A and B are shown apart, each in its own frame.
Chain A
Amino acid sequence: DAGITQSPRHKVTETGTPVTLRCHQTENHRYMYWYRQDPGHGLRLIHYSYGVKDTDKGEVSDGYSVSRSKTEDFLLTLESATSSQTSVYFCAISQTGTRDQPQHFGDGTRLSIL
């Protein structure tokens, strides 16, 4: 299994609170990604990073911010959580961003916003 650890694995919180999810990798891969997965939708990209301090927006970035201060860590923050952000969040990594490189996923974080 790819060396990817997501924390926490489960979280329940209230609307309006800040939430930070952490993704830690031991593979020294350059690219890291945050996705959300909801019923009826495929995984949708929130943000990704192509290096330390280098990040870019994905398809569903509104309401989310990210930071990458070290190669191994990629943080996803919900500044003020809303119920629509209840979802399963997956972190993924890839060695490069080139077209033939698949992504490998962490175990996921189940987030419930009440």
Chain B
Amino acid sequence: RKEVEQDPGPFNVPEGATVAFNCTYSNSASQSFFWYRQDCRKEPKLLMSVYSSGNEDGRFTAQLNRASQYISLLIRDSKLSDSATYLCVVKPPGNDMRFGAGTRLTVKP
């Protein structure tokens, strides 16, 4: 079983739609959680950290459920520019980070 699992998609949604991505992780001792965005043939870029209480940054909302070992990302009012692959990232104890394989999103006009 992979340490971080994501639905690979692709998710194809119209502009203005709300879309949610989920991610599960296997190491219950994991301490920090992030969502990264990766455009085609580019490097991953930090989208947002995920806090226990949940957090929002504009149209993006991240939630963490430690009991179920589950992280989510909600994107409201999707824009064409949101088209990318979204990587779920989990930090277990130590200096490593574990990456999901990513969920691909395409926002269509």
A106 CB contacts on chain B under 8 angstroms: 43
A18 adjacent to chain B (CB < 8 Å): no
Instruction: Report which of B31, B34, B45, B99 forms a contact with A42, defined as CB distance below 8 A.
Output: B99
CB pair A104 B46 closer than 8 Å:
yes
Instruction: Report which of A31, A43, A50, A99 forms a contact with B99, defined as CB distance below 8 A.
Output: A43
Whole-angstrom CA separation of A48 from B43 in the bound complex: 18
How many contacting A-B pairs (Cβ < 8 A)? 46
B42 adjacent to chain A (CB < 8 Å): yes
B32 adjacent to chain A (CB < 8 Å): yes
Dominant secondary structure of chain B at its interface with chain A: strand
Q: Which B residues fall within an 8 A CB radius of A?
A: 2, 4, 31-32, 34, 42-46, 49, 87, 89, 91, 95-102
Give the nearest-CB partner of B96 in chain A. Answer: A45
Instruction: Report which of A31, A97, A105 forms a contact with B45, defined as CB distance below 8 A.
Output: A105
Interface residues on chain A, number (Cβ under 8 Å): 24
Instruction: Please provide the chain A residues from 86 to 114 with a CB less than 8 Å away from any CB of chain B in the complex.
Output: 90, 97, 99-100, 102-108
B98 CB contacts on chain A under 8 angstroms: 42
CB pair A42 B87 closer than 8 Å:
yes
CB pair A42 B102 closer than 8 Å:
yes
Binary B-proximity of A11-41 (CB < 8 A = 1, otherwise 0): 0000000000000000000010001000011
Instruction: Report which of B87, B91, B96, B100 forms a contact with A59, defined as CB distance below 8 A.
Output: B96
CB pair B99 A107 closer than 8 Å:
no
Give the nearest-CB partner of B43 in chain A. Answer: A105
CB pair B95 A108 closer than 8 Å:
no
B101 CB contacts on chain A under 8 angstroms: 40-42
CB pair B43 A107 closer than 8 Å:
yes
**Can you list 12 A-B contacts with CB-CB less than 8 angstroms, sorted by A residue number?**
A35-B99, A42-B87, A42-B98, A42-B99, A42-B100, A43-B99, A48-B95, A99-B31, A102-B46, A102-B49, A102-B89, A107-B42
